[in-house]
Amino acid sequence: MHTSGGSALADKRPVDVYFDKYAESHQNPTNKSIHWVCVPLIVFSLLGLFWAIPFPYLKFLGKYNGFVNWASFLIGFSIYYYYKLSPVLSYLMLLILFAFSYGIIELDTWQKAGGPAIWQVCLAIFIISWVGQFIGHKIEGKKPSFLDDLKFLLIGPIWLLHFILKKFSIRY
């Protein structure tokens, strides 16, 4: 083990360094509770907004044509990023994103039945959730982490997930 002052940081995995940095502006219990609601809603709504962007028709996909879209690339990029930080967290996030995708498919079905457009529902969720986030940070008295580094937009969801894994003593 190192004895220099920076050894504790040097011994940590990058994912844990990100979690520690993220936690600095997420100490207030009210802000943390708001994040437990708003971060998943932001991820869901962002997925839906990307899903709603028109994507070229790919004839070879047949009846599955609508399932390959811009959200597919968002999922692929984020899961790759998460995998580089922690394979276990990436697998769990992939399952969560599959569940969210199912929710988006249900919104699409609702839209086809005469309901509001996916992008409208997701934009409303996105705006309301971000307002909640900023209220939480106002209560916290600290600015959101992503204002210093955009990577923290991706860290938030797995930061929440790591608490669940810790509760069940699952190494991530």
Q: What are the pLDDT digits (tens) for 100-140? A: 999 999 999 999 999 999 999 999 999 999 999 999 999 99
Distance (Å, rounded) from C-alpha 145 to C-alpha 7? 24
Q: Which domain holds residue 144?
A: 14-19+29-52+63-167
Q: Say yes or no to pLDDT of 11 above 90.
A: no
Element (H, E) at 123: helix 118-140
Residues in the chain: 172
**Cα 109-51-86 angle, rounded to 5 deg:** 120
Q: Say yes or no to pLDDT of 4 above 70.
A: no
Distance (Å, rounded) from C-alpha 122 to C-alpha 108? 11
3-class DSSP state of 12: coil
DSSP code of residue 68: S
Q: Say yes or no to pLDDT of 8 above 70.
A: no
**pLDDT (tens digit, 9 = 90+) per residue, 48-85?**
999 999 888 777 778 877 778 899 999 999 999 999 99
**Do the beta carbons of residue 165 and residue 172 sit within 8 Å?**
yes
Specify the number of domains making up the chain.
1
Is 2 part of a structural domain of the chain? no
Q: Say yes or no to pLDDT of 165 above 60.
A: yes
Is 76 part of a structural domain of the chain? yes
Is 58 part of a structural domain of the chain? no
Share of the chain above pLDDT 90, in %: 80
Instruction: Considering only residues 46 and 3, tell me which one the structure prediction assigns the higher pLDDT.
Output: 46
